[in-house]
Structure 1
């Protein structure tokens, strides 16, 4: 991880060794970057453990990041994959999370980089597919006193980001280290980069019940593919369960496929023109045309975690085509 100026040159050029993923900590130990030999890359800020970039082997960016977002730890990142925990949206009154800011504190806390691991599997073409897993940790012991005062439970979070050839997996393990049970919600708030929101549909939500947050939180049922003609903010519970893929289709072609593990809900969001214009950290103001959020989570209700128990949820995003 740390460059050694007197490192023997033979270590980086030993004959017969397969190419390895390159992992570096940069920007004053503020960001972790991983690059596969095939060219795929990912960048994660230690602030919020927020994934801010994911590029395919051709160098094409797959995540949308606001040009006006702050990356210095002064404010939650607008774009990439912010991590929502332990509450989604504005906290409800008379609840243990009621004093917390919207979307909780995980996305605005400084995480610790715990290390990397690599794996290799045989691909269908007979070669080897290399992946690298980056682990990050956050616990109640590392929170600032102000945050502890808002939500005083003892907990431990392990967040893993796994970069593969054509895929990205993000997973979170929550452990209750307290003597009391606590409620939690989790959301992987993924901003996908697209070409044109009016040419995009989302498949895999047909028949699902959802809460329409743009229409007074009415309960509705999705009859067909999701299309975008204005502000969209919906919380779905897909009928096929987490293992059934939710696909982002652009111009009739699937560009992303999302499969969930133990995350029953999917939030679909696009602010459209008026709301984008009202957000100070959203830029360019017409950037809503080039992004769509399809977010895996557990947010329609609460997960109650008993002392000593753990909750784990994950998503795997695959690039199509």
Structure 2
């Protein structure tokens, strides 16, 4: 009988150290830089996580696709509250915060009868403007599903305010025929039209560039992908906001590590703490934002 024990392999993709995990259920690829999940594909299925064919594995820059970790701010720093802007020392601020382009520390890879856990921590002392005593960790669990959990602990004496996201890229057969269910009647901010607040009518469908921040988001969402005959489930906790994004034609041509014709095969649903859902931690408090992903046939 062939072994069904998980296989753990350290691999180098150009400049980046990664870990490839193979179990009886799926294959997972995670980079040490950014603790970034790059690939997740159940055996016999299309990938759930999208990774650009033009992805570059270079030190200091996030890989296009996968699940970049955005912390301690999301998006444009100037769009964040002043208390979060103070977490940057000045000069050009990287979009989505600095940690996605820096190495995390792998604390361990643990196996059990059901799957594999990868445990990462980030050396927050490398960010001089953070209050002393802030601890950041990221746990990746692969079993029948993929579970991701980002935990911030304020072990210092000063309060901490932050925004964050797990910037998940999903693979779909054709964005024109794909829809998101679970956001019906949810408030959202239309960032492409002067940040107007609107309300979602029906399922989310795609007819052009999309960049929306949804508020008061329920814990369960799903992507219906009729051509690949599947439903991708997202179950989140510690998050009440989400960003839905697809660059469409014109913006795709301006993106790095992104083929001009790649946009129909992907979309992002970013599990987040943004806008009025930002995280405020008093000394001694901690917060975990988590999402679990899996696919089922339609």
- Give the equivalent residue in structure 2 for 1:275: 251
| Pairwise CA distance, 1:209 | 0.4
CA deviation after TM superposition for structure 1 residue 295, in Å: 1.3
Deviation by residue 1:128-156 (Cα, 9 ceiling, x = unmatched):
xx221111111223x2xxxx245454421
Higher alpha-carbon Rg: 1
Q: 1:86 aligns with which of 72, 93, 108?
A: 72
CA distance in 2, matches of 1:206, 1:295: 17
| Cα distance between partner residues in 2 of 1:156 and 1:264 | 22
- Structure 2 unaligned regions, length at least 5: none
Is the Cα contact below 8 Å between 2:16 and 2:33 reproduced in 1?
no
- Could you say what secondary structure the match of 1:258 adopts? strand
What is the rounded CA distance, in whole Å, between the counterparts of 2:132 and 2:181 in structure 1? Answer: 38
Q: Kindly indicate whether the alpha-carbon contact (under 8 Å) linking 1:39 and 1:58 is maintained by their aligned counterparts in 2.
A: no
Distance 2:261 2:123 in 1: 38
- Cα deviation for residue 251 of structure 1 reads 2.2
Instruction: Map 1:11-160; keep pairs closer than 5 Å.
Output: 19-27=4-12, 30-36=17-23, 38-58=24-44, 60-92=46-78, 94=82, 95-98=85-88, 99=90, 100-120=93-113, 130-141=114-125, 143=126, 148-151=127-130, 153-160=132-139
Instruction: String of CA shifts for 1:212-262, please: whole Å, max 9, x gaps.
Output: 1111111010011001000000111245x32xx211012285420101011
Q: Give the secondary-structure state (helix, strand or coil) at the position aligned to 2:21.
A: strand
CA contact (8 A) 1:91 1:97 kept: no
TM-score by length of 1: 0.83
Establish whether residue 222 from structure 1 lines up as the match of residue 222 from structure 2.
Answer: no
Q: Deviations over 1:252-286 (max 9, x none)?
A: 8542010101111111100000001011321x211
- CA shift for structure 1 position 102: 1.2
Q: What is residue 236 of structure 2 aligned with on the other side?
A: 260
Does the 8 Å CA contact 1:86/1:186 hold for their aligned counterparts? yes
Alpha carbons 1:259, 1:317 under 8 Å: kept? yes
Matched-pair contact (CA < 8 Å) for 2:104–2:120? yes
1:307 aligns with 2:283: yes
Q: Distance in 2 between matches of 1:175 and 1:237?
A: 24
User: What secondary structure sits across from 2:73 in the alignment?
Assistant: coil
The two structures have a TM-score, normalised by structure 2, of 0.89
> What SS does the corresponding residue of 1:81 show, helix, strand or coil?
coil
Post-superposition offset of 1:60: 3.5
Runs of 4+ displaced beyond 3 Å: 97-100, 149-154
- Paired residue secondary structure (2:112): strand
Give, in whole Å, the separation in 1 of the partners of 2:147 and 2:39. Answer: 13
